[in-house]
């Protein structure tokens, strides 16, 4: 069985999001999380990519929707 490559798709998707307008919105983060979850589990490569993406979000870009989405992501990646 080959290694899942969803983390690569997540990385490319995040690059598209950040280069589009320079920031990531809650809906875009939700779409990236959905890529990680589509096989039923979030593996270590996907967790690493999610943490890297989150580290690039600037505090001034965090609105209520992004805060809620970040909480969802943190809950999912910290229980793995």
Instruction: Give pLDDT tens digits for 44-76.
Output: 999 999 999 999 999 998 999 999 999 999 999
What's the whole-model pTM score?
0.90
| Domain locations in the chain as residue ranges | 6-78
Query: pLDDT tens across 13-39, in order?
Result: 999 988 888 889 999 999 999 999 999
| CA 19/CA 34 separation, integer angstroms | 20
Q: What is the pLDDT of residue 3?
A: 60
Rounded Cα distance between 8 and 36, Å, is 10
- State whether the Cα torsion 22-7-39-47 is positive or negative: negative
């Amino acid at each position: 069985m080959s290694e899942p490559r969803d983390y690569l798709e997540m990385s490319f998707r995040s690059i598209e999001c950040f280069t589009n307008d320079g920031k990531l919105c809650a809906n875009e983060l939700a779409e990236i999380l959905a890529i990680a979850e589509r096989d039923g589990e979030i593996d270590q490569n996907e967790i690493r990519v999610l943490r890297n993406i989150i580290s690039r979000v600037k505090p001034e870009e965090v609105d209520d929707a992004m805060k809620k989405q970040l909480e969802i992501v943190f809950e999912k990646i910290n229980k793995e």
